[in-house]
Amino acid sequence: MSEALRPQPRTSNDTLPHWQGLRDHRLRLQRCAGCGTFRHYPRPLCPQCHCFDVEWIDAAGDAQVHSWTVLHHAFHPAFRSLVPCVMVTATLREGVRLLAPFKGDVRHLVPGLALRVGFEDISAELTLPVLVPA
Amino acid sequence: MSLSGRAALTGVGETAYSKSSDKSVLRLSLEASLTAIGDAGLRPQEIDGLIPYPGMGVVAEDLIVNLGLDEVKFSAMTPLGGASPVAAVQCASAAVSSGLCRHVLIPVARNLAAGGRISDRLRQMPQFNTVAEFELPMGAFAPAQLYAPMARLHMERYGTRPEHFAEIAISTRRNASLRGDGMMTAPLTLEEYLASRMIADPFRLHDCSLESSGAAAVVVSRKECARDLPHPVISVLGVAEGHPDSPTSITQRKDLLEIGLVKAAPRAFGMAGLTTADIHVAEIYDCFTYVVLRQLEALGFCRPGEGGDFVASGAIRLEGRLPINTHGGLLSQAHMVGMNHIVELVRQLRGSAGPTQVAGATVGLVTGYGDLGDGTLAILARE
């Protein structure tokens, strides 16, 4: 029941390919068609070369721990059944970051720990990335 | 042309602070506004500039129609979350010193029952749109949840400990206890701090600021107009705003510990022609204990990574070398978005801060910290 209340992402034409990719269990990142720089979260313009054109690239799926927190207080009714929950800020091989729930033992977390990206189907419409120990 | 010394804080006002209030946000705004205008020795009709606080539904037109203002020549908003009130002081200083207007009223009001809860912020602030799309569905969207990884990284990188965060909560509470007029006045011990429940590790309940109803307001005036008013002239010597990289997402920030104040601080000190050694008292935006610690580093009171040792030395206590948050701050007095910090700095520099007055304080600073790292700083001095 709490899952039904979970806030849904409000997508735009700038971000839709990312969300569609997640449904197919692919973490799709924007790479600038002009200068080749990866960027995330998705947005219309490359801040390096100001090119609007992008390629959507599947992330390799490996990452490293940058930092983390353990959420104890939910702040929203949809997440009450999910706390406590470990949220990891991870650096992907492509250089951009991913914030996602960590499915592992929080006591093992140290900066630099190797992780893999996985996927969790929340509903027919929504799939979210997760992080697991490599 | 430098802004330094061309504007002054001439009036301050506050309502009582509480968890709940049966007054509307607009009513609360007007009460604090009338107090601030009266404190400045002005009639409401002399207000000719307005900077309402964004997101709570009060706009310049509401102030005009209620206060009966018929000569408003300037209005603006500074939507930087907790950095807004100090950004508004910068904006007002520019407006009055350019000749656009003479007296700018800046009110902030919140009512928890009317959109003032922290969980309402996402909707109210467009700078949260990226967080709302990509991080809210995961369950991470409240400031405690978004800042916790910054605090954790500071601990991992520099050895900062919960006891360091505790010192900020405890010393701030001490000031609130002495003042006696804030929302939390019972003394706080280290044991109570450590035993308080985890909100988002490493943040315990006592690392988090309050949620409050009430209002605070200030009047910023052109310097020449301030000399005829009742209080000593409190000049704006330096003021600045700074934005970190990736200001829409902390997750994507190259260095998670970077904050906008790193850029703003040298500009404000440069404008004032002062250094940290000249500061007698500091009101530091304290949405979370860690945010105070990191701002002390960004301001240059200690080097990056040394914030823990700095606070552990007793420096920030009332009798220390840099007394901070002498009113009890957002942690213990009330969360009035830091407008209460500006009000307090003016009182300190007037010498009217009561039981927590810093003896001989004539130069001080006040910071603002916006939700995803925007930073503002004003350096004020008594003439």
User: Residues B100-157: pLDDT tens digits?
Assistant: 999 999 999 999 988 777 667 777 788 889 999 999 999 999 999 999 999 999 999 9
Supply the mean pLDDT for chain B: 96
* Residue contacts between A and B (CB atoms, under 8 Å): 102
Beta B281-283 vs B234-242: how paired, if at all? unpaired
Query: Is B40 in contact with B103 (CB distance < 8 Å)?
Result: yes
CB contacts of B130 in chain A (<8 Å) are: 41
Instruction: Band the pLDDT of A102: cuts 50, 70, 90.
Output: very high
Pick the CATH number of A60-134 from 2.40.50.840, 3.30.420.10, 3.40.50.20, 2.20.25.90: 2.40.50.840
- B145 has a chain A CB within 8 A of its CB: yes
Gap from B215 CA to chain A (nearest CA, Å): 24
Instruction: Band the pLDDT of B168: cuts 50, 70, 90.
Output: very high
ipTM of the complex: 0.95
Question: Are the beta carbons of A89 and B156 separated by less than 8 Å?
Answer: no
Per-residue pLDDT at B376 exceeds 50: yes
Tokens of B85: 């009130």
Tell me the one-letter amino acid at B9.
L
- B142 has a chain A CB within 8 A of its CB: yes
Model pLDDT, residue B299: 98
Render pLDDT for B11-20 as a digit per residue (tens, 0 to 9): 999 999 999 9
CB contacts of B144 in chain A (<8 Å) are: 73, 75
Q: Between B133, B197, B251, which is nearest A89 by CB? A: B251
Contacts of A24 (CB under 8 A, 6+ apart): none
Q: How many CB atoms lie within 10 A of CB B72?
A: 18
State how far the Cα of B275 lies from the Cα of B273, in Å rounded to an integer. Answer: 7
- B372 has a chain A CB within 8 A of its CB: no
State how far the Cα of B381 lies from the Cα of B43, in Å rounded to an integer. Answer: 25
Model pLDDT, residue B167: 98
- A9 has a chain B CB within 8 A of its CB: yes
- Numbers of helices and strands, H then E, in chain A: 2, 8
Question: Are the beta carbons of B139 and A40 separated by less than 8 Å?
Answer: no
Tokens of B103: 């007296």
Tokens of B310: 């700095």
- The CA radius of gyration of chain B, in Å to the nearest whole number, is 19
Q: How many CB atoms lie within 10 A of CB B275?
A: 10
Per-residue pLDDT at A1 exceeds 90: no
Region at B59 (left for phi over 0; alpha for psi -120 to 50; beta for the rest): beta
State how far the Cα of B136 lies from the Cα of A126, in Å rounded to an integer. Answer: 13
Using DSSP's 3-state secondary structure scheme, residue B207 falls into helix
In chain B, domain spans: 7-117+209-382
- B152 has a chain A CB within 8 A of its CB: yes
- B199 has a chain A CB within 8 A of its CB: yes
State how far the Cα of A121 lies from the Cα of A22, in Å rounded to an integer. Answer: 9
Instruction: Name the nearest CA neighbour of B221 among B236, B208, B206.
Output: B236
State how far the Cα of B340 lies from the Cα of B361, in Å rounded to an integer. Answer: 18
- Say which residue the tokens 């749109």 belong to: B129
Using DSSP's 3-state secondary structure scheme, residue A117 falls into strand
Per-residue pLDDT at B257 exceeds 90: yes
Instruction: Band the pLDDT of A2: cuts 50, 70, 90.
Output: very low
- B256 has a chain A CB within 8 A of its CB: yes
Query: Is B348 in contact with B361 (CB distance < 8 Å)?
Result: yes
State how far the Cα of A90 lies from the Cα of A68, in Å rounded to an integer. Answer: 8
- Closest chain B residue by Cα to residue A89: B251
Question: Are the beta carbons of A75 and B142 separated by less than 8 Å?
Answer: yes
In eight-state DSSP terms, residue B102 is S
CB contacts of B140 in chain A (<8 Å) are: 69, 71, 87, 99
Determine which helix (DSSP H) or strand (DSSP E) holds A90, and give its type and residue range.
strand A85-92
Supply the mean pLDDT for chain A: 95
CB contacts of A117 in chain B (<8 Å) are: none
Instruction: Name the nearest CA neighbour of B45 among B73, B72, B26, B27.
Output: B72
- Say which residue the tokens 């930092």 belong to: A67
Question: Are the beta carbons of B149 and A96 separated by less than 8 Å?
Answer: no
Gap from A101 CA to chain B (nearest CA, Å): 7
Render pLDDT for B19-56 as a digit per residue (tens, 0 to 9): 999 999 999 999 999 999 999 999 999 999 999 998 88
Q: Between B133, B142, B251, which is nearest A99 by CB? A: B251
Question: Are the beta carbons of B251 and A11 separated by less than 8 Å?
Answer: no
- Say which residue the tokens 């400045």 belong to: B40
Give me the mean pLDDT over the B155-165 stretch: 98
Render pLDDT for B316-351 as a digit per residue (tens, 0 to 9): 999 999 999 999 999 999 999 999 999 999 999 999
Name which of A19, A73, A91 to mutate to probe chain B: the one with the most chain B Cβ atoms within 10 A of its Cβ. Answer: A73
* CATH architecture of the domain with residue range B7-117+209-382: 3-Layer(aba) Sandwich (3.40)
How far, in Å, are A133, B290, B340 from residue B107 at the CA level? Answer: 50, 27, 11
Return the axis-axis angle of helices B143-158 and B289-299, rounded to nearest 10°: 60
- The CA radius of gyration of chain A, in Å to the nearest whole number, is 16
In chain A, domain spans: 12-58, 60-134
Contacts of B162 (CB under 8 A, 6+ apart): B193, B194, B202, B204
CA-angle at B28, arms to B26 and B31, nearest 5°: 110
Model pLDDT, residue B312: 98
Gap from A100 CA to chain B (nearest CA, Å): 7
In eight-state DSSP terms, residue B233 is P
Instruction: Name the nearest CA neighbour of B239 among B379, B341, B76, B81.
Output: B379
Render pLDDT for A73-92 as a digit per residue (tens, 0 to 9): 999 899 999 999 999 999 99
- Say which residue the tokens 């600045």 belong to: B240
Q: DSSP secondary structure string, B343-382?
A: HHHHHHHHT--GGGPPTT--EEEEEEE-TTS-EEEEEEEE
State how far the Cα of A85 lies from the Cα of B267, in Å rounded to an integer. Answer: 41
Question: Are the beta carbons of A75 and B137 separated by less than 8 Å?
Answer: no
Model pLDDT, residue B117: 75
Give me the mean pLDDT over the B257-278 stretch: 98
- Closest chain B residue by Cα to residue A111: B156
